[in-house]
Structures are given as C-alpha cells and as structure tokens.
Amino acid sequence: MVGLIAAGSAAPAAAAVRAPVDLGTLPGGDYSATTAINNQGSVAGIANTSDGVSHPVRWSRTGTITQLSLPDGVDFGQTVDINESNTVLGYYQDQQLALHPAAWDASGVRTDLPLPPGTEFSRVNDLNNAGTAVGYASPNPVRWNTDGTVTVLPLLPDATGGQAVAINDAGTIVGFSRQSDGTGHAVRWSPDGTITVLGALGGGDSDPADVNERGAAAGQARAPDGAFYAVRWTENGQLTALGPAYSRALAINDRGVVVGTAGSTPTRWTGTTSTALPLLEGDFQGYAADVNRTGVVAGLSGDPFTNGRGVVWSAAGTVTELGPVPGRRVTSVHDLNDRGEIVGNMRMANGDIHAVRW
C-alpha cells in the first residue's frame, strides 16, 4: 500500500461487488500479470511458459492470449503499455541483464527500439496512439519516433540526466531534469523538442506522473517544509498545489480531474476541490491509481496488515469492490479504460498469480 499511514474515509454500510474475469495463462504456465488496457479492451501483460520463460503477451477483448516474440536465448520480457492500434510497448532482458526496449505491432511483429551510442541502461515509460514512445537511455530522456529513430531530449543547464515519463497524442512530453545538486525539476517538452521548466513549490524537487491531451500534467512537488504535495500544472505551466502535505497525484484526465492519495486516503481533485473517496467497510487506507474521461476512478482499499482490495469509484463517488474469484484475492489494480474496464492481478487459491479484468 506504498507507505500509507493515516486514517482514510468511512465506507457506506454496504458496497456492490463487480465480478472478475480470470484471463488465464499461456499453455503450461502458472503465472500471468497485466500492465495496461486500451479502449478496445485489449490487454498487455506478461505470462510464463512451462520452461519458466516470462513472455510479453496481449489478450484480445474476448480473452484470447497471444505470446509476443523474444530473441533466441532470452528468458524474460515485460510490457509497459498498449495503444489503440494494439501496439504493445515493453522490453526484454538479455543474458548479461541489459534491458532492451521493444514494440510489438498488432500482428505481433517485434521491433527493437534503437539506443543512442554509449547507452548502458534504458527504460520505456509510455506510448501514444501515434506509436511514439518515451523513456530514458541512461542518463538522458529519450523519444522513440515512428520512423524508427531515437531522439535525445534536451535537459536544463547544469543537469546530469533526466527521464521522459509520459506523452500525449499531440506529442507533448512531461518528465524531469536531474540537476547536479541532486534535485529533480519537472519539465515539459513540446513536439519539436523544446524544453520548458514547470512551476515548483520552492523545495527543490518536482516530478510529473501524467499528462493529458490538453498538455496539463499532474504529479508532486516538494515545499520548503520538506513535504511533498500533490500538484497540477496547466497547459501553460502554471502550478497549483492540491495538497495536503504528503499527498501525491498519480493521474489526470482530459477534463483536468486529478487522482492520487492524500496521506492514506484515496483522493480526487476537481479544480481546487479535494474529495476523499470512500473505502470499503473495515478498511482505513487506500489510493486512487487512475481516472478515465468520465471521472470513474480505480484503485485499492485496505489496511496495513493485508493486501488491499481492488475498488472502482463512480463519478459520483460510490465505491464498488472489484471482487476476486471465491477463495482468491486481488493483489493489484493497474489500469482503467474509458469504458470503465479495469485490469489487475489476483492470487489464486494455490498461490499462483493470474491476470484479471473487471
């Protein structure tokens, strides 16, 4: 539950339960997990085979699983995102433990993404519907373009590195520039690569987590008192502290609604209005992980002694439990699409982890 410590909001006397669909595993495998879902209902994730190799996979809307290719001799691959063209973004690890970014198109063909010369470590973070991906190739933030090239994004003066965290369909990117004094400064790159510093709270650190289609972003920033606060940046770069202290924004939708956690309380911010989202009965901590276009929110509700229970909040704030299969329990909630479909993971009765969709 990522270090949640303070009391959350009370739950209604009873909450509805949404039934899950177990997405299953590859033939002979005993493990699968999700990472993302698109608006068509296609899901990206990972699953192993009987030989222990972990493969990137894609599930169709009807639940058919497709194993995505890895190079010969590679025994681990992972997915990060899936766009509306059913392109999957991810990476694989070679026998020297180096990570290689890759993308698999709708037919399953793998393209290894290029790296700048001298790169020792890379990471992919996000993919837009045009097929442009972002991440970093140590120590620099990078953009992988649809023409098969890679662009090293500029950094602020006196920077030692940085990372591109999220990209929208217009090509606007948010991330951070790591300065020589160790602080990270939130920045935005325009589609032509121009870098702009986003506002800060005076504590030396700021970190965006998401960007919407208008170019507004959400994340956290440190204040002079040392505490991090959830923040929103407008498309013009103006910062609003959403608060309170020790809060964090995790996602923003195209209407500017932000969700995350305030202390231990799952929270939604509309404008500057903060709403504590209700927890399930018996729980007193949780967090909101994602919000879709209509204001539906997905996250977790729990206590510090057990794994959280998956939940979805309606735009009006009503909480519904994302139910497990009887005898099993939900371990994580990862992504939410605009249809209100949610993906996460579930622990089976025998201890195995399976991908699940609600």
For 341, list phi and psi in degrees, rounded to 5: -80, 145
pLDDT band at 325 (very low <50, low <70, confident <90, very high): confident
Residue 330 is predicted with a pLDDT of: 86
Residue 97 is predicted with a pLDDT of: 87
**Nearest-CA neighbor of 208 among 245, 163, 242, 170?**
163
Tokens of 304: 């510090």
Helix (H, G, I), strand (E, B) or coil at 142: strand
Mean pLDDT, residues 136-160: 97
Q: Would you tell me how many other CB atoms lie within 10 Å of the CB of residue 253?
A: 22
Q: Would you tell me how many other CB atoms lie within 10 Å of the CB of residue 256?
A: 17
Give the alpha-carbon dihedral of 307, 329, 18, 267, to 10 degrees: 10
Residue 279 is predicted with a pLDDT of: 96
Residue 5 is predicted with a pLDDT of: 27
Average pLDDT, whole number, for the chain? 93
pTM over 0.85: yes
Residue 306 is predicted with a pLDDT of: 59
Asked whether the beta carbons of 154 and 128 are under 8 A apart, the reply is no
Residue 13 is predicted with a pLDDT of: 37
Can the peptide bond before residue 139 be classed as cis, meaning omega within 30 degrees of 0?
yes
Asked whether the beta carbons of 332 and 343 are under 8 A apart, the reply is no
| Domain residue ranges of the chain, discontinuous segments joined by + | 16-357
Tokens of 55: 């493969």
Q: How far apart are the C-alpha atoms of 265 and 7, rounded to whole Å?
A: 7
Is the pLDDT reported for residue 11 higher than 60? Answer: no
Specify the CATH number of the domain 16-357: 2.130.10.10
Is the pLDDT reported for residue 30 higher than 80? Answer: yes
Give the CA distances from residue 77 to residues 29, 80, 104, 282, 332, in Å, rounded to whole numbers and listed in that order. Answer: 15, 10, 12, 38, 20
Q: How far apart are the C-alpha atoms of 229 and 241, rounded to whole Å?
A: 6
* Cβ density class 47-73: b for 16+ within 10 Å, e for less: bbbeeebbbbbbbeeeeebbbbebeee
Tens digit of pLDDT for each residue in 41-80? 999 999 999 999 999 999 999 999 999 999 999 999 999 9
